[in-house]
């Protein structure tokens, strides 16, 4: 039972991260690691999507000790909104090549359309008028039953 994993590195300073291709790659990934800069250290944003939809994420501050060469990491106190990490949009408007919304003029035009309709009958009564060829028997065929 082999499992294949693909690791890709994308430098967002060389590409536009608002493109549909970039968003699709992010949507397909199980794990996203985004690096950012802070004055004294680097910022590491990690998002991991588990198979059944659970998302684990965290923002970490990492720094390098120049004497020992070790990397120290601690959970960052930085508020997610202040980090330059853009959320991935997966709305249908972003993923399609055509417009899904209506502007005001189109909404007004839609309201002006007269839809066809069917007239319904006044009631659901069935009126049966027997004609001369009907074989009508006034006797009850179940008279001989003992109920």
Q: What is the pLDDT of residues 83-126, one digit of tens each?
A: 444 444 556 666 677 787 888 999 999 888 887 776 666 667 77
- Ordered by start, the domain boundaries in the chain are 20-96
The model carries a pTM of 0.43
Between 141 and 128, residue with greater pLDDT:
128
Cα 44 versus chain centre, distance: 27
In Å, the largest CA–CA distance within the chain is 115
Share of the chain above pLDDT 70, in %: 76
How many C-beta atoms surround the C-beta of residue 55 within 10 A?
A: 8
Other Cβ atoms less than 10 A from the Cβ of 45: the count is 19
Nearest to 19 by CA among 64, 86, 72: 86
Q: Which residue has the higher pLDDT, 96 or 6?
A: 6
């Amino acid at each position: 039972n082999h499992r294949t994993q693909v690791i890709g590195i994308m430098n967002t300073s060389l590409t536009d991260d608002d493109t549909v291709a970039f968003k699709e790659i992010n949507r397909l990934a199980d794990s996203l690691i985004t690096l950012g800069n802070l004055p004294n250290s680097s910022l590491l944003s990690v998002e991991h999507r588990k198979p059944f939809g659970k998302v684990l994420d965290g923002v970490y501050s990492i720094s390098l000790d120049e004497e020992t060469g070790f990397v120290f990491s601690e959970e960052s106190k930085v508020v997610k909104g202040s980090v330059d990490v853009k959320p991935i949009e997966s709305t249908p408007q972003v993923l399609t090549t055509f417009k899904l919304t209506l502007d005001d003029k189109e909404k007004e035009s839609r309201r002006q359309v007269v839809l066809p309709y069917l007239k319904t009958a006044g009631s659901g009564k069935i009126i049966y008028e027997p004609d001369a060829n009907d074989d009508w028997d006034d006797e009850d065929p179940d008279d001989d039953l003992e109920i």
